[in-house]
Amino acid sequence: MHALTFSRFGGPDVLEWTDLPDPRPAPGVAVVRTQAIGLNFADIYRRQGRYHLAGSPPWIAGYEAAGEIVALDPRDAGGAFAVGQRVAFADSAFANAEQVAVPLDRLIVLPDDIDADTAAALLLQGLTAQFLLEDSHAVQAGETLLVHAGGGGVGQLLVQLATAKGAQVIALASSEDKRRSALAAGARDALASGDGWVARVRAVAPEGVDVVYDSIGRTLGDSLALARIGGTVVFYGMAAGDPDPVDPRVLMDRSLTLVGGDLWNVLTTAQVRQQRADRLFAAVRAGHLRVAVAARVPLRDGAQAHAILEGRGSAGKVLLIP
């Protein structure tokens, strides 16, 4: 099989199209032939040497893909999975390859009406958005939310799911295209995230907002200032770098809640993965959730896909196609 690999850290040019041995099944581990692979910023950070990696060089990045099972260990025959079954996964390593060995408890069964592109574009970011809106803070109808990066992959899903719950969303986005995408997803307002963004938010929410979803990091102090008295800030990413330390007195003086969000703290069993994924599929089926694919790039041309995502110009998911 072939895989998109890198043996040193750097820009997209370090990526190579490498011939590697086919993975083999083992007890509790299936081999999945990938049909669509989700590219995420974590993969950019891995290539740059800023994020954890599994294995040794040549490294294979990627944790999210959809496809079909092509091999099972004989001891798993007759169980919950079968050769030829359509599946996806959102948290198993080495996804940037034509074939991937995936633990059975990480596999998510795909219904007939969810294609590989939709699954690969939806699962990791959709499960994240779902978790942020239900576990980090249980969004209620009538609340006003501020969503940083509201035109990106997670951002658009956050906007759609929050709007379906009856919340009003103010989205921040870096480009006109992304702001249009946020509005199309249901945002009440879509504002530019560059210089002066705090004043722009104040103009449409003079008393502050109920909840801020901050994936930027360096903006955390301003996010806390924009939360109303008794409001909440959900911190779940550092796209622009680490935030400055927060003085606990800021939280005390205005009765604020600051909560961190990490999906892996709730995806603890195969049953939970499947149940949460099924609810996302149901939202797609009902028309409450639209998955935006910004680009489909051949896996062997992965450097092009990395450049698209790293340039932050894409409004939606970038997929790698084996």
pLDDT greater at residue 54 or residue 257: 257
Angle at 117 between CA 181 and CA 188, to 5 degrees: 20
CA 236-193-134 angle, to 5 degrees, is: 30
pLDDT at 39 over 90: yes
Q: What is the mean pLDDT of residues 260-283?
A: 92
Which of the residue ranges 71-75, 100-104, 173-177 would you say has the lowest mean pLDDT? Answer: 173-177
The full DSSP string for 41-76 is HHHHHHHHT-S---SSSSEE----EEEEEEE--GGG
Q: What is the greatest pairwise CA distance in the chain?
A: 63
Domains along the chain?
A: 2-122+267-321 (3.90.180.10), 141-260 (3.40.50.720)
Residue 230 is predicted with a pLDDT of 97
Tokens standing for 180? 């249009």
pLDDT at 177 over 80: yes
SS3 label, residue 211: strand
> What's the Cα-to-Cα distance from 203 to each of 26, 48, 233, 240, 320, rounded to whole Å?
58, 38, 19, 24, 40
Residue 306 binned pLDDT confidence (cut-offs 50, 70, 90): very high
**Mean local confidence (pLDDT), 74-85:** 93
Q: How far is CA 131 from the centre of its chain?
A: 11
Asked if pLDDT for residue 42 goes beyond 70, the answer is yes
Angle between helices 116-131 and 153-164 (to 10 degrees): 70
Residue 123 has pLDDT above 70, yes or no: yes
Tokens of 123: 């699962």
The answer for residues whose C-beta is within 8 angstroms of residue 285's C-beta and 6 or more apart is: 113
Average pLDDT over residues 133-149: 96
Query: Cα(160)–Cα(106) distance, rounded to whole angstroms?
Result: 26
> Which pLDDT tens digit goes with each residue over 213-258?
999 989 999 999 999 999 999 999 887 778 889 999 999 999 999 9
Among 67, 157, 59, 55, smallest CA distance to 107 is for 67
The C-alpha atoms of residue 22 and residue 223 are separated, in whole angstroms, by 47
